[in-house]
């Protein structure tokens, strides 16, 4: 594999199913804000393998449209949906977050995990404006990203960019909040904590003990070892000052 392999694709290849900074704890917080029923219309942007959509559809029998730009991820998503026999509840399609192919006020809930961090500020605003547009009045945008804690040095973000091969731009909590409010959301609630992406305890919680051992075993293979060790050391040492943030932004009813 080439040196430019993006971090989340690398971890997925090792067997990681939860590719979000705060793992299952953060995703569960978002789900609890959604008040999902069988009538809820959900859009998941950057769905990847549809892990979250499958959980939502399986538990709440809500109707979900799941979109991503990565055709390979969408192939995996379709297989996962079929294996879980949820084709009647989840529709998958390729779409660009910056120009969603949906009518105004089409969805009750928009999920978007671990994507906005990858955009610069103007792109963040453009994507969030699209989410706002497709949300119904009273609907909620549920996002999950990386947060800078007080005193995080710029060089740490540069190191993260090098390690995961993505030009990420995480924000401090107040900047995240102000970004959503600036688009027009009337109410913004947040929660945050330590990232579980490569934390041993977090990985066991997210993937199970066997899943974590499989990821580590694959990570220590010769072709993966250098990148895996780099990522593991970063997220468990110098990068510990980077937290996850989850945000529930409500559109006025």
Other beta carbons within 10 angstroms of residue 169's beta carbon come to 18
Alpha helices in the chain, H assignment, sequence order: 7-14, 23-34, 51-60, 71-83, 121-134, 154-164, 173-183, 200-219, 225-236
The average pLDDT across 129-148 equals 97
pLDDT tens digit sequence for 227-237: 999 999 999 98
What are 250's strand-pairing partners? 140, 187
Is residue 3 over pLDDT 90? Answer: no
Give the pLDDT confidence of 209-223 residue by residue, as tens digits. 999 999 999 999 999
Q: For residue 198, what are its two tokens?
A: 């490569």
Please give the DSSP secondary-structure letter assigned to residue 3. T
Question: How far is 196 from 114, CA to CA, in rounded Å?
Answer: 13
Asked whether the predicted pLDDT for residue 1 surpasses 60, the reply is: no
Whole-angstrom Cα distance, residue 222 to residue 159? 23
Task: Please give the Cα distance from 113 to 109 (Å, whole number).
Answer: 13
Q: What's the pTM value of the predicted model, to 2 decimals?
A: 0.90
Angle ∠(188,192,198) on CA atoms, nearest 5: 140
Is the pLDDT at 108 greater than 50, yes or no? yes
First-residue to last-residue Cα distance in the chain: 49
Alpha carbon distance 136, 69 (integer Å): 24
Sign, CA dihedral 197-199-204-209, equals positive
pLDDT tens figures, 44-77: 999 988 989 999 999 999 999 999 999 999 999 9
Of 127, 140, 162, the C-alpha closest to 238 is 162
**What domains can you pick out in the chain, each with its CATH number?**
7-250 (3.40.50.150)
Residue 172 has pLDDT above 60, yes or no: yes
DSSP classification of residue 40:
-
Per-residue model confidence (pLDDT) at position 42: 98
Secondary structure (DSSP) of 151-199: T--HHHHHHHHHHHTS----EEHHHHHHHHHHHT-SEEEEEEEE--SS-
Q: What is the mean pLDDT of residues 180-205?
A: 94
pLDDT at position 154, please?
85
Q: What percent of the chain has pLDDT over 90?
A: 82
- Torsion, Cα of 209, 73, 165, 232 (10° steps): 0
CB 44 within 8 A of CB 52: yes
In this prediction, residues 23-52 reach a mean pLDDT of: 94
Q: Hey, CA dihedral for 127, 128, 134, 140, is it positive or negative?
A: positive
């Amino acid at each position: 594999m080439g040196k430019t392999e993006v971090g989340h694709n690398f971890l997925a290849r090792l067997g990681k199913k939860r590719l979000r900074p705060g793992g299952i704890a953060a995703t569960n917080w978002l789900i609890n804000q959604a008040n999902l029923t069988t009538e809820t219309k959900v859009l998941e942007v950057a769905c990847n393998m549809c892990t979250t959509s499958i959980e939502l559809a399986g538990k709440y029998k809500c109707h979900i449209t799941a979109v991503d730009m990565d055709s390979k991820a969408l192939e995996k998503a379709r297989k996962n949906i079929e294996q879980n026999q949820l084709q009647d509840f989840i529709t998958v399609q390729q779409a660009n977050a910056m120009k969603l192919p949906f009518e105004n006020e089409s969805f009750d809930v928009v999920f978007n995990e671990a994507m906005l961090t990858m955009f610069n500020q103007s792109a963040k605003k453009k994507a969030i404006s699209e989410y706002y547009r497709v949300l119904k009045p009273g609907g909620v945008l549920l996002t999950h990203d990386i947060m800078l804690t007080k005193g995080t040095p710029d060089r740490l973000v540069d190191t993260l960019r090098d390690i995961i091969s993505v030009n990420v731009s995480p924000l401090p909590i107040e900047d995240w909040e102000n970004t959503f409010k600036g688009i027009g959301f009337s109410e913004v609630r947040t929660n945050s904590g330590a990232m579980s992406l490569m934390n041993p305890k977090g990985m066991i919680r997210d993937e199970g003990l066997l899943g974590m051992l499989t990821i580590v075993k694959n990570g220590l293979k010769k072709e993966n070892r250098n990148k895996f060790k780099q990522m593991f050391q970063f997220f468990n040492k110098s990068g510990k000052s980077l937290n996850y943030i989850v945000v529930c932004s409500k559109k006025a009813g």
